[in-house]
Structure 1
């Protein structure tokens, strides 16, 4: 499920709190954003017409599912990045040109895998193509 934005929160303090706890890209809601929305909803609910317990449990289940999907995505990205170590890749540079090199290692940068190609960090979104490294180009310093 993609959420492109949430407008019209009840209190400016609530939206200010959401801005300070936002992690990740600006176009995505994170775990803390979801919890802040839930707490704000509970704080400003009508005491004469409280949130139905089934609705509240459904929201908690959605939060749990969101958290699990986020964790699965993180592990899938890390696994894919690890599978590229030792392979030759083509990737887009920040300048918009295509370069290629062999992935030497993987570094986690703020929860996102960063492939180390030579002395450059390459994000998974920049990778165009991957293939097994040619046997003559790979550094065999491991084998003795």
Structure 2
């Protein structure tokens, strides 16, 4: 789940490239079991190599758990930031290079992260505003 904070720049292309270049736990297990299944019975895998691979597997699992915990913290942080913006005046940059100013009137939580609804000074309501689009928070 991608989560962005105020002022962060989200680059989905780099995230996709990173996921394609990594191996997950399931792929590692398949590779490991294939190696055991097709090893030469007359020359089995050296014990040191076997233990090193088990250590790599353990390290992979710990890394996965750390990643999940970090993602959970980012989701909580993003949610907290969004809720703290309720009834605050914010400025956000739009695609044309200008900024809109308004008050955050609602927060909606979606699978891609929190989205804000902002009532501009002209009375227009902007919906589906991401935290990364906020450029300034006024008290």
Unaligned 5+ segments in structure 2 are 1-11, 40-44, 120-124
1:93, CA displacement in angstroms?
Answer: 1.6
Query: What TM-score comes out, normalization by structure 1 length?
Result: 0.63
1:141 is matched with: none
Kindly name which structure, 1 or 2, has the bigger radius of gyration based on alpha carbons. Answer: 2
1:36, CA displacement in angstroms?
Answer: 6.6
Cα RMSD (Å): 2.7
Is the aligned partner of 1:37 residue 2:24?
Answer: yes
Which structure 2 residues correspond to residues 19-58 of structure 1 after superposition, within 5 A?
25-28=12-15, 37-45=24-32, 46-47=35-36, 48=39, 49=45, 50=50, 52-58=53-59
User: Which structure is higher in RCO with an 8 Å CA cutoff and minimum separation 6?
Assistant: 2
Moved over 3 A (4+): 48-51
More helix by share: 2
Unaligned 5+ segments in structure 1 are 1-24, 133-144
Query: What TM-score comes out, normalization by structure 2 length?
Result: 0.66
2:131 is matched with: 124
How many residue pairs end up in the alignment? 107
Q: In structure 1, how many angstroms separate the alpha carbons of the residues matched to 2:13 and 2:25?
A: 19
